[in-house]
Amino acid sequence: MTTSGELVSPLDGIVLDRASPVPLYYQVAQYLERAIESGALSPGSRFENEIQLADRLGLSRPTMRRAMQHLVDKGLLVRRRGIGTRVVSPTVRRSLELTSLHDDLSRDGQRPGTKLLSLSEVPATAKVALALGLPAGAQVVEIVRLRSAMDQPIAKMTNHLPLGLIDLTATNLERQGLYEVIRSSGIRLHSATQVIGARVASAAEARLLGETRGAAVLTMQRTTYDDSGAVIEYGNHIYAASRYSFQLSLLAG
């Protein structure tokens, strides 16, 4: 297993079948994909340049470039000028269930981290007030957090709750998921409605998520209810689309 930032020669041990109908670039890409997904190549591992890699295997540079681009397109590698080609964290796939991102990342071994950007009382905007069933301008609790997975920023999460609903501190918000904090106060979550979309990140959002300017982000607005039907929280989240996706299971009717 490599360590983050280590310069690696990732193709040691690969055997290419030049008589196979499977294109050579795809054989290389499959070998590297298995190494990344197994953890043999860790997130942050830095590759030799394509000329060196091509020479090692006796391949043309266009063939090697195509193999690397295949993995870039799948979100497994990233190319940055001045940095080179590096392994990125596997995309986090999140099921559409009533769970917090913190819980989902913990369950998948993605080592979640949280930076609390703000915790304050603010007047509700018209949109927030409508979602929470409050008059516009009513005071609400606003929580803004930056969530990371495997030490890489993945989501900016903004949540609004009715004032006085639960006690919130910087400590519990950085160590636990919001739903865990809510449940520990005795509130039973029952259901939620959510809308998922996509857009281009603002310059500030791109910087916060470690993305390039103009990168795509996934968006989610979620309104959560307790078992009495009362609104508990309204969340407005953005996710780095290069490292995150939603997973939806469908059943035949």
Residue 7 pLDDT exceeds 60: no
* Rounded Cα–Cα distance for residues 141 and 164 (Å): 8
Rounded to an integer, what distance in angstroms lies between the CA atom of residue 215 and that of residue 160? 26
How far is it, in rounded angstroms, from Cα 57 to Cα 77? Answer: 20
Mean pLDDT value of segment 41-70: 86
Residue % of the chain over a pLDDT of 70: 83
Q: Where along the chain do its domains lie?
A: 7-87, 92-247
Q: Which CATH class is domain 7-87?
A: mainly alpha
pTM above 0.75, yes or no: no
* Residue 196 confidence (pLDDT): 87
pLDDT of residue 76: 78
Is pLDDT at 168 greater than 80 in this prediction? yes
Does residue 81 register a pLDDT over 90?
A: no
Q: Is the pLDDT of residue 183 over 90?
A: no
Q: Are 198 and 219 in contact (CB under 8 A)?
A: yes
Minimum mean pLDDT among 62-66, 160-164, 191-195, 249-253: which range?
Answer: 249-253
Task: Please tell me the least confidently modeled range out of 56-65, 99-108, 185-194.
Answer: 99-108
* Better-scored residue on pLDDT, 146 or 98: 146
pLDDT band at 82 (very low <50, low <70, confident <90, very high): low
> How long is the chain?
253
Structural domain 92-247, CATH architecture: 3-Layer(aba) Sandwich (3.40)
Query: How confident is the model over 107-161, as pLDDT tens digits?
Result: 666 677 899 999 999 999 999 998 998 998 999 999 999 988 878 888 999 999 9
Mean pLDDT of 13-19: 86
